[in-house]
Copies of this chain bind each other. A is one copy, B any other.
Amino acid sequence: MTPASLGPGREFDLIRRFLAGAGESSGLPDSVRLGPGDDCAILRVQDLAVSNDISVEGVHFRRDWLGAEEIGYRAAAAALSDLAAMAATPVGVLAALAVHPRDAGDVAAALVNGVRAAAEGVRAVLLGGDTSRSPGPLILDVVVLGTASKPVLRRGARPGDALFVTGDLGGAAAAVRAWRRGDRPDPAARIAFVRPRPRIEEARWLADRDALHALIDLSDGLAGDAGHLAAASGVRIDLDSASIPVHRAAREIATNADDALRLALGGGEDYELCFAAEPATVEPLIDEFTGRFGLRLTRVGTVSEGTGVALDGMISAAAAAGGIGFDHFRETDE
């Protein structure tokens, strides 16, 4: 009898597969004192940034939309985006996985491979996690750990700042709309939904140039997330609709320009950066940023005294846009 045979069944096979190779073949970075396999992982870090992000089948993704590896990648990328939103540097990832017993083999392995790929894409180590049987939906909670000696918070926006976003907005929402209609999404829109890139390096680069007063990542949609930033900073944010970088696929699937704008403002899950900064600091950096990262950097609004978010000067329009922010408790589809 080997000790392995003592393990009480398939759960342990899954855990072993889950952890197999994590941090072993490639060696562990100095900041990881103990990797997977014990009751806890041990990190040596000065200023730890930590967050988690739960993804639920039927709420955040559907299995007729995404493969298992894609589900794992996307869940981890969404969680890692919270580190980008603090200008933190990733160190490690833990994943909790609940799957139906029929998925305890290849599906679970593919999910974990996706999580690992997203982690390794930003030089983080898969540190372990937990697994369970699920009676129904597939569930993935990804915990991200990083260092942030000078974290950039949501609450630093000041009157006189401008608001900037990276990339194009509404691509993920365009893919979801196509799937809901039973269509194949535009390939670029599908990639925006399936393979969001956590903007880790972009945020670090901007932070190193003192270009960030307040920072958030776009998970709920620009209208909602600008609202979080305004509320945390105690300021008003005015968005300029003409400057919003609407994703080409959102324009193409939209019924008209207003509808495209709704996808960009309210669609959510683009995982781009949104930040407030002095325009005089950021604007000279835009060309270099775009050249370096292949990513647009666009001024989309202004910060002033007051509260709330307005679109083209109209608070009510912003409220309407906010109302279509991504809401996991929304019971009806769009």
Contacts and interface: CB of A to CB of B under 8 A. Distances in A.
B231 A4 contact: yes
A206 to B, nearest CB: 15
A170 interface: no
A120 interface: no
Interface stretch (A21-29, A160-168, A216-224): A216-224
A295 interface: no
Nearest to A237: B3
A315 B1 contact: yes
Interface in A177-222: 215-217, 220-221
A271 to B, nearest CB: 12
A224 B85 CA distance: 41
A46 interface: yes
Interface magnitude class on chain A: 35 or more
B330 A9 contact: yes
A57 B135 contact: yes
Nearest to A145: B50
Contacts of A101: 329, 331
A139 interface: yes
A50 B307 contact: no
Nearest to A5: B319
B6 A227 contact: yes
A67 interface: no
A224 B329 contact: no
Nearest to A99: B329
A128 to B, nearest CB: 8
Task: Name the 9 nearest CB pairs between A and B, nearest first.
Answer: A8-B325, A6-B227, A3-B231, A39-B85, A6-B322, A141-B141, A54-B96, A40-B49, A9-B327
Given A7-B228, A9-B327, A40-B86, 7 more contacts: A6-B231, A6-B318, A8-B224, A8-B322, A9-B329, A9-B330, A60-B132
